[in-house]
Structure 1
């Protein structure tokens, strides 16, 4: 795939470090009900995790640029681990919610830091493939994670599951710290800095991302609601898995074949595909039909996120890139909350079929915003990052950097 081995190792460790964060809200709900006996407390605690993450993601990203990745990752990782360990033994409702909120506030910026560093250790021509591999890793996490939770619950229960995933995530975070390159105040040469498109591009991406994440938040409500409506609530997990597998397939295709055309053109095309395929979601009347619709809708998800990461990496000064990913994360949390609340209300008042129009409407709005600002998505011609070896020597002379240190 022409992705340096060091970058591949970083992606693997980043994915492992993200494991307790990805599964945290599910485990907090299960553990909250077990420890406090209340789903209401569990729900508030889960919301506290998300709100805490949304509040601190940009701030922690800014600290990454100012202090470097290692001290920030280690400090937040320790605080996050202690908060999760506290949740495992807390039975008092107020304390449980407080610790869950602390866990959200102290979320280690593993993904933001890892994505930012990929832009430093991967040559620009290979950057789209690197972010596609990262998107595939995230999809594997979200496909396999719930299955791992289910298995661990059968073996040991939510307390042991939370502890196990917290320790595994901490080990991945420590491993990630060891492979990150040393801090540089500004790893981009002056010529490349002057060519960066600037704030307009980042505003377009973050603004469009809100609409995209509204659709995702709606899907998390509407897919289980569909399964219940057709009389098979037990099939909700299967449908979500099929949706993720479609995204995984799209990410693998992008990682193998590379991004066609320019980043801006690919971004608009993939967003258009998402909007178009979402129009099929109100049509199914049974689980097999919905499985097909979800698989098709999922195909463009991981590629769209990979191109989003690439555009931000190529349009943001390196010291601010982690902070920009933090703002993207905050926008995502707000979008998910809005999509979940809106789709749930529409589903209850108008039914499940019309509620899927919330997904299409959010994506259509995102597409309109992106098209109206498509000029901001034009990026400068590809240039190797500062840490790349000058004339890159690749297999067959294709110009990709080889990272022998990996």
Structure 2
């Protein structure tokens, strides 16, 4: 813990980490908020799944495009414009009664304008700390990210069940606008300029570690989203049990991230961490008892933040600085699509088989998430004793200093 405390004393690290965390909170809230809202309005988890599918398609298109656009227009203009449009689209879904096809269209617009905050901050981090601090910073950031993916849904669940689903969505909008403004005020956005990439869009996916991180990130977050939907369906809309179980799930991830943050990243690292997630999820699927789920979802959570930290590190060490924003754009897109697809698949299985179906989906996704890095370990860089910083570009690029 002392090493993380020292890291946070580095100028600007704690501030920008907190700002991006608040700005990205809606990424972990909207899938579940839309699931609950559309199910309440239209009486079908399947209909909610269609809306989430539209959201995921928009995110799939936007992720690498907006990330790459930051190299042309700058981080602040791109992030400001996308926040404004996304906030309007999400608010319309909450406040305006619409048919499912029309709601899908607005959800697509919201996904298309999700602000590229994750690629921006991942690109800034290597310019804020030295090479020895970068991997621990990714570990700390991954642990903090679990507040987005796990605690975010807890807040959404409590708000939607105890106050209302409209309020649950509008709370996400408040985080988006307020956190976005805080992040945009960070001076690092003016000091670091992303070089314009000279390669075609998508070329960075030809790098095996980037593709590996994108696929496994998709599967991991999809499993988490299915778990969240299953927990909510298990305990209904009126009780506190769902929030308690999801909170314990989050604690497991935070504990895992902090405990394993300094463990060396070898070629088996990602598979080992995904095995923890699969084992906990598979055992949790056996019973819907609240304490059974709490114990074994805590175990599953222990692997989540460490797995994300490995993904960030292997991507950073495998690309040039001018490619980092787009690379993290693809990884972020995979995670965001995973959140929507996991919720959608779980929704259809809940309609067909009850809450147990969601946990079966989650276990299947986590199993594939373990097998992919196991079979693709030759693509996994061995970072033990190595610098995880991006590869320097071979030509100079402009840096704004004020």
In the alignment, is residue 74 of structure 1 matched against residue 74 of structure 2? no
Tell whether 2:127 aligns with 1:120: yes
Q: Does 1:110 align with 2:113?
A: no
Q: Distance in 1 between matches of 2:143 and 2:316?
A: 18
The reply on whether 1:245 has 2:251 as its aligned counterpart is yes
Partner of 1:317: 320
Deviation at 1:106, TM superposition (A): 0.8
TM-superposed deviation, 1:38: 3.0
Deviation of the 1:249 alpha carbon: 1.8
| Contact 1:11–1:134 (CA under 8 A) maintained in structure 2 | yes
What are the residue-to-residue correspondences of 1:1-400 with 2, within 5 Å? Answer: 1=4, 2-3=6-7, 4-28=10-34, 37-39=41-43, 44-93=50-99, 95-146=102-153, 148-149=155-156, 158-159=165-166, 162-163=169-170, 165-179=172-186, 180-181=188-189, 182-186=191-195, 199-224=207-232, 235-254=241-260, 258-262=261-265, 264-284=267-287, 286-336=289-339, 339=342, 356=359, 358-379=361-382, 381-382=386-387
Unaligned runs of 5+ in 1: 189-195, 388-404
| CA gap 1:71/1:341 in 2 versus in 1, 3 angstroms | closer
CA distance in 2, matches of 1:212, 1:156: 30
How far 1:79 sits from its partner (Å)?
1.4
Cα distance in 1, alignment partners of residues 228 and 179 from structure 2: 27
SS at match of 2:143: helix
Q: 1:370 to 1:183 in 2, by over 3 A?
A: same
Larger mean Cα displacement after TM superposition, 290-299 or 235-244: 235-244
Please report how far the alpha carbon of residue 148 of structure 1 lies from its aligned counterpart in structure 2 after TM superposition: 4.3
Aligned residues of 1:198 and 1:316 also touching (Cα < 8 A): no
The answer as to whether partners of 2:23 and 2:178 remain within 8 angstroms in 1 is: yes
Which whole-Å CA distance do the structure 2 matches of 1:157 and 1:367 have between them? 37
Contact kept? 1:124, 1:384, Cα under 8 Å: yes
Q: Deviations 1:78-132 (Å, cap 9, x if unpaired)?
A: 2122323444542343654433322221111112221222233222322222222
Q: Deviations over 1:190-222 (max 9, x none)?
A: xxxxxx997122122223334434433442344
1:26-56 CA deviation, whole Å, 9 max, x = no partner? 444566578xx43456664444333322221
- From the CA coordinates, give the structure whose radius of gyration is larger: 1
Closer/same/farther in 2, CA of residues 116 and 263 from structure 1, 3 Å limit = farther
Taking a change above 3 Å as real, the CA distance of residues 97 and 212 of structure 1, as seen in their structure-2 partners, is closer
* Counterpart secondary structure, 1:102: helix
**Deviation digits for residues 357-395 of structure 1 (CA, Å, limit 9, x no counterpart):** 5544443433333233323222562176799xxxxxxxx
Q: Distance in 2 between matches of 1:47 and 1:197?
A: 23
Shift of 1:310: 1.6
| Distance in structure 1 (CA, Å) of the matches to 2:39 and 2:360 | 33
TM-score using structure 1 length: 0.76
TM-score (norm 2): 0.76
Cα offset, 1:14, TM superposition: 0.5
Change (3 A) 1:269 1:149: closer
**Conservation of the 8 A alpha-carbon contact between 1:121 and 1:385:** no
CA 1:290/1:370 → structure 2, altered by over 3 Å: closer, same or farther? Answer: same
Aligned partners of 2:344, 2:32: CA distance in 1, in Å?
A: 18
Taking a change above 3 Å as real, the CA distance of residues 11 and 243 of structure 1, as seen in their structure-2 partners, is: same
Are the structure 2 counterparts of residues 369 and 236 from structure 1 closer, same or farther at C-alpha, using a change threshold of 3 Å?
same
Say whether the 8 Å CA contact 1:64–1:72 is kept in structure 2: yes
On the 8 A contact 2:223/2:361 being kept in 1, the answer is: yes
